[in-house]
Chains A and B, each alone.
Chain A
């Protein structure tokens, strides 16, 4: 099976005066995993629930595989959803849970159970069918929820923060399993999370949302290396936000002044003058002897084993730095010269 394309056209949601999702356009290609990422209250779950048919769109259209489903109820849409709480039916056995959708669609019970067994095998739970959900661990319940959604061969599979109830270690392995399953079966998956590392790990594309609108959409690498805004930069990993100036720009390259440093960066269409700059912590380095640099003072130094973390006071502001040098550690109060690796420094829009 292969997943269908999801196309949102001017889709928006309003509760009275409150806008939960501003009208937006988005295309999710068939067979890809797209993450909706954002802080709580940004509208990502509402967007997901509109695709599922659990919320009514206030405006715009939803097309799944080219079919307009905007007015269809959830059951008529051929989408499945994995819920944050898993929503396993506590009074039914695991097998009945997984077979529920098939039986609902009118499949004879025997056949439905056979397919449910197969789906349980896919998620590595062969032989657990007779148990009740309450007799399984959190990770196992999660797999049952995935199997229950998968068995219907949906056009689109929706995940609503599926890993937030698991502990850190389990979360890591579950997200890899979900990703592997999605790639093996070629599913279209829309995945809601507020955890950026989860998003980076599983996604083909990430849609960062903020204040009921899309802040930026792109591949994980694009979002990390070319964030449009301070918000996206800081949301996709750690970032220092400082102000510099664009001295001149031509051919898409800008010469940027940051204290005594001069950096050549892609200008991203910004005019000359004051500019917002974000700096990844791992792009901050200490100057090699004789190299020119931004003078600073070590305000805090934390030894982390594999690397050290520093807070450095400079004329452009305090910088957070992650430096993998385990041999030459700087003490608090030390005067240092700082240089920046250009691939970790970006001009942004606000």
Chain B
């Protein structure tokens, strides 16, 4: 008999509650321990067994919810009645599951009134494990099935389930952690009450101080961050504009090479540039040595601090602004400029009175994108910051440093979050006003005019040296991997690579990965390989749901998804350890937390490329499939997915590469067992072991290039007959 309707979901829930161990097992699950029935150790037992044999009565409501949902899962009753049973049972079971998970923590009851009611509990509760997860997901699906049976989501159980899973996962992995961070600000400290503690933390000279205006002392991190982000955004937008104008409006011969520049930050681990700058301008850097040798001057440590970070961020994010601005400049219809010229305006006047004003919203967007990039940047400040603290690094030191002050980290994170959200809202408003975008769907003829000579010269003068400098930084950075000790011993060597990636044959003939970097490299690849398909799948699913389905709460879901974009990585990192350190979801130190972090940090990229591709796909194609008896899932698999291959590639590549290069959130989440490549590199940098760090970066770049090609090969191209393959537009911008 084929299982149909809600019965499979109910059975999963039942197995999760009755058979499989409810809590996470310390030593992992084995075949022997997977049956949690009749276990002597209550922690290894299933929920039902814990309730029946060990007196843990708080599991009974979950079981009751399951039983209540059973009539709805069976095909006997008419639809409306089944819907009612499913909603009641699933909803009650889910609520009971959440409440009991939150109610009992590591020290018994979480809330005093519960203790008053049931008496003290000498038990503690571990995090939810396989059984709990199975039951939770299946109960959720029973509820969404109930909604679908009532006719919501056009009666489509798959859509209802997809929306339910998306909403629940955003709630679980973004909204809850962020809320936890914000709550953490109120944690009482010493003798201070919640409000007093909050006030004490928020009103902090280290955050808001303005001492640097009047004296030599440093300002608060808020001001540091704000000034840095503003400078970086302005600098990168100007540079990006120069590049964009050259590429789109001049006959510059090496345009292709300039465009290549935009790809670099995507495959560059976040500290390559910082390291390159140190090797050039650092104390033992090339420039310093030359200046000292020729003029006998000591240039000192000027690269560490504001100057260095600004320079590094300008190198890192100019390509991002460039990418945004290419679209902006190309988006201006040439007919406007031609009209201006026929109205007797000079080229200069056309540029000043027509072209530039038309670009303003685009410039504002590029500025805000760079601003947010700078704000969220962790790699450059940690390498070059010195004593100059910005929010992202201060959060890090508040958590890992000697202070271990989570309250302070939470306040800093909240400040950062507010700035990021503010910039995000501003950006949405700027981009939302589309009145200036003059390109229509129709083929707009006309040639873009070439730049007026003074502007062109200025653009060349700015962009070409900068491009050369970028190249120099990259070359220097990579050269650092091949000399013994930069600045002191210039002997060419492969020693760094050997230390990181040595291979040895042991006596009994097996290969031994004796290099220090192998462990973190394998972990990184493994987790990136796990995370990439989940990210792409979930992202495309969300894109499909958002662009193809209409249901109550669609805009809310979309907004929540876009908000996850705005949360800086450092904030997410802190939020995750605060939230997942304790039951009910105790996943700190596991691979799950890292994968969850990758997935939900990169989800918006999958969503964006999916939405862009979906908008090129005729809606009636999936409707046709559905009217042809295909289940919605089948329609998605056989019609939509094959036509979305370019978007799948984009999402896969992006999430894979991002998982390998991200550092800001991950640095909080790694453990000895699960160490990531970027964190390994940063630790080498902090120890001054630049050679090995750079060697590792070079290997990562190589690896990512290979992986990109491999993914392209695996997913393949669409075959649409004589028509060419339409590539999905690449997503713009991203964060470290």
Q: Which residues of A contact B (CB under 8 A)?
A: 52-56, 70-76, 79-81, 83-85, 87-91, 100-101, 104-105, 132-135, 148-149, 152, 158
Contacts and interface: CB of A to CB of B under 8 A. Distances in A.
Given A54-B623, A104-B630, 19 more contacts: A53-B155, A54-B627, A56-B154, A71-B79, A71-B149, A71-B150, A71-B151, A73-B155, A73-B626, A83-B620, A87-B620, A88-B624, A91-B642, A91-B720, A100-B638, A101-B628, A132-B719, A135-B722, A149-B628
Interface in B642-665: 642-643
B144 to A, nearest CB: 14
Contacts of B629: 75, 101, 104-105, 152
B151 to A, nearest CB: 4
B457 interface: no
Contact of A72 (B155, B618, B623, B630): B155
Contacts of B156: 73
B155 A87 contact: no
Q: What 7 A-B pairs are tightest by C-beta distance, nearest first?
A: A101-B628, A134-B721, A87-B624, A132-B721, A87-B620, A104-B630, A83-B620
Interface in B523-578: none
Interface in B142-169: 149-151, 154-157
B623 A104 contact: no
Nearest to A82: B624
Given A74-B627, A75-B630, A75-B631, A53 B620 contact: no
B40 interface: no
B621 A89 contact: yes
B639 interface: yes
Contacts of A100: 625, 628, 630, 638
A56 B627 CA distance: 14
A73 B628 contact: no
Contacts of B723: 90, 134
Interface string B198-240: 0000000000000000000000000000000000000000000
A96 to B, nearest CB: 9
B721 A90 contact: yes
B624 A56 contact: no
Given A54-B623, A71-B79, A73-B155, A91 B630 contact: no
User: Do most interface residues of chain A lie in helix, strand or loop, or is the interface mixed?
Assistant: loop
Instruction: Identify the interface centre among A72, A81, A100, A158: most chain B CB within 10 Å of its CB.
Output: A100
A58 to B, nearest CB: 10
B626 A74 contact: yes
A158 B628 CA distance: 12
Contacts of A105: 629
B718 interface: yes
Contacts of B79: 71
A71 B151 CA distance: 5
What band does the interface of chain B fall in when counting residues whose beta carbon is under 8 Å from A? 20 to 34
Interface string B89-125: 0000000000000000000000000000000000000
A134 B720 contact: yes
B634 interface: yes
A158 B623 CA distance: 13
Nearest to A75: B629
Interface string B591-626: 000000000000000000000000000101101111
B53 to A, nearest CB: 43
Contacts of A81: 623-624, 627
A262 to B, nearest CB: 55
User: Do most interface residues of chain B lie in helix, strand or loop, or is the interface mixed?
Assistant: helix
A56 B628 contact: no
Contact of A89 (B155, B626, B627, B639): B639
Contacts of A91: 642-643, 718-720
A146 to B, nearest CB: 12
Contacts of B625: 89, 100, 104
Nearest to B151: A71
B634 A104 contact: yes
Given A73-B154, A87-B618, A91-B642, A132 B720 contact: yes
A332 B458 CA distance: 71
A125 to B, nearest CB: 16
Contacts of A134: 720-723
Contacts of B718: 91
B724 to A, nearest CB: 11
Interface in B716-735: 718-723
A87 B621 contact: yes
A135 B721 contact: yes
Nearest to B80: A71
B154 A54 contact: yes
Nearest to A77: B627
B479 to A, nearest CB: 47
A54 B629 CA distance: 12
B93 to A, nearest CB: 24
A81 B642 CA distance: 22
Contacts of B150: 71
21 contacts: A52-B627, A53-B627, A54-B623, A70-B151, A71-B79, A71-B155, A73-B155, A73-B157, A74-B627, A75-B628, A81-B623, A81-B627, A87-B621, A87-B623, A100-B630, A100-B638, A101-B628, A104-B625, A104-B631, A134-B723, A148-B624
A85 B626 CA distance: 16
A73 B634 CA distance: 14
A4 to B, nearest CB: 16
A55 B550 CA distance: 9
Interface string B450-462: 0000000000000
B624 A53 contact: no
B719 A101 contact: no
A158 to B, nearest CB: 8
A89 B626 CA distance: 12
A53 B719 CA distance: 30
Contact of B626 (A54, A90, A152): A54
B631 A90 contact: no
Contacts of B634: 104
Nearest to A154: B627
Contacts of A89: 621, 624-625, 638-639, 643
Nearest to A151: B628
Nearest to A84: B620
Contacts of B642: 91
B720 A83 contact: no
Nearest to B148: A73
A89 B156 CA distance: 22
A53 B635 CA distance: 15
Nearest to B723: A134
A38 B151 CA distance: 29
Nearest to B153: A56
Contacts of A133: 721
Interface in B233-290: none
A174 B30 CA distance: 65
Instruction: Identify the interface centre among A53, A71, A134: most chain B CB within 10 Å of its CB.
Output: A71
B4 to A, nearest CB: 11
A7 B640 CA distance: 33
Nearest to A52: B627
A132 B721 CA distance: 6
